[in-house]
Structure 1
Amino acid sequence: MPLMSQFSLTLFFVFTLCVPLKTLLAQEVVNQNLSTQAPSCYDANRFCISILAPTNGKYEVYAQRKVPLPLVLTLSASGLTSTLPPSGLPPKSTSNVFLNDDTPVLMGVIKSPRRFWHSMKVSWTSGKLNAVHNDNVTYLPPLRPAGNYPIVQGFGGGYSHTGASRYALDFAAPVGTPVLAARDGVVIDTKDDGQLGGASKQFAKHANFVAILHDDGTTGEYYHLKYKGVVVTREQKVIAGELIGYSGNTGFSSLPHLHFAVYRAKYEGRYMSVPFTLKNEPE
């Protein structure tokens, strides 16, 4: 985003998983002219929010993805309303949208860009909204040979595999163990600049990871990779068994391990894990 003035806007990236958390609990401060109509782009230009010239005294707010991968977006701001609010109902302040193509989507209308930029909060999740998992698929173990890397926390594990992360597996593995794609797909998100880790949620935002979009719209997510331990890039196609990175101990992690789960995207930066089956392999 161009640096246009001394004004700044704090955006809170909201997610709801205890483990894993992406760039969670982080705050990004961006310089923004609070009266401008210029678009603001986020997450390495994954999507942009723009304001168009007023019609009948109101500005239109649009969201548009810039990367050809699905995205579930929630935008909230003071004074944001629908174009035709129902009579007698208060103005809405939150708008949800599933961005599945590159067409700009109208999120709502506002009267004041300054008020909008001051109050705007945006959260997003990669993947298809409420994707239906293909239960006929079996997943390759992400660490091989599988017998060398025991599962130290399984589905419903009391330490952190509850709620949205109920269906997840933690594999004990020394730092630097090769991590392989468990299923074919397209890399939809990565992070590899985290250097910290520990047994506290305050470290969650430092977790390095790879997220891979599957053909049913779910995402396979591989967490706690080592610093600079990602070897794939966004939009890259991968096949099951292909090297995608190296395990580590970053983020909310009490010991070196790999956290693997399959998720479906929801609004408000939320996502939900789904049960999956690993392929049995000889020890």
Structure 2
Amino acid sequence: METCSALEKKGFEVTYLPVYEEGIVKVEDLKSAIKEETILITIMHANNEIGTIQPIAEIGKIAKENNIKFHSDAVQSVGKIPVDVNELNVDLLSISSHKIYGPKGVGALYIRKRTRLEPILYGGGQEKDLSPGTENVAGIVGLGEACRLAKEELDENIPYITNLRNKLIDGILNSVEKSYINGDIEKRLPGNVNFRFTGIEGESLVLMLDAKGIDGSTGSACSSKKLTASHVLKAIGLEDVDSHGSLRLTIGPENTEEEVNTVIKEIPPIVEKLRSMSSIWEKEESLLKNNTKRCDID
């Protein structure tokens, strides 16, 4: 988003597509947005906050038919779900090492042949004249090894992590009143869970979970210090008060069923305690009681 904003300041026209309640781009919207002068489509493969997976292959096919270059940010999806640049029909695909247990500070950009790029730095001839400067050899080797391991373990990790995720979702939704899942329930990354609890502040929930040894966040890690409502949650139609009551949890291959059971056990009493101090929840309870009375009368 920041890159697109910078391009707008340089005179480029940028069209931002809606994602609706499920957090997924509609192909029809993308088709309608394409203009004669459109030169690039960029859609992230999977969202870093709510885990929704976009129809990248279908979008890439449309881009190809219209002779438009197509980029996808696959930082969240590589190593977690199958990613094949040919099947996805992408011209450019960006990944980051630390998201697949590789070293921090290194990433990669896949560039399909005959895709012309201009460098933003100049001087050396490294990276085919696109990124001058001495290569981080240790980081590159680490990224390569992380990719190799991720591919080897993918078939085993996907069902294992998905089962833990579903257990966590069912456990919380069945034990906490007025709890919801943000994003599409099925078209999401195996290890991503993003809850929404009416009547609480997510920051308080994160702090109380931290005291129990449970790590979570109210948004993406890169914006975790911002107290403003998440633009991702706003994009799926949530009001600020609901956005602030959200919690993101991530499950990895090293997590266990015992740990998931611990989270299911710890969250309900914490939510209940926070709601007992919440004026928002007090109003919500009052509405629930009034609605119940009206139903009884009917």
TM-score, reference length from structure 1 = 0.30
Q: Which has the higher strand share?
A: 1
| Bigger Rg over Cα | 2
Q: Which has the higher helix share?
A: 2
Larger RCO, structure (CA 8 Å, separation 6 or more): 1
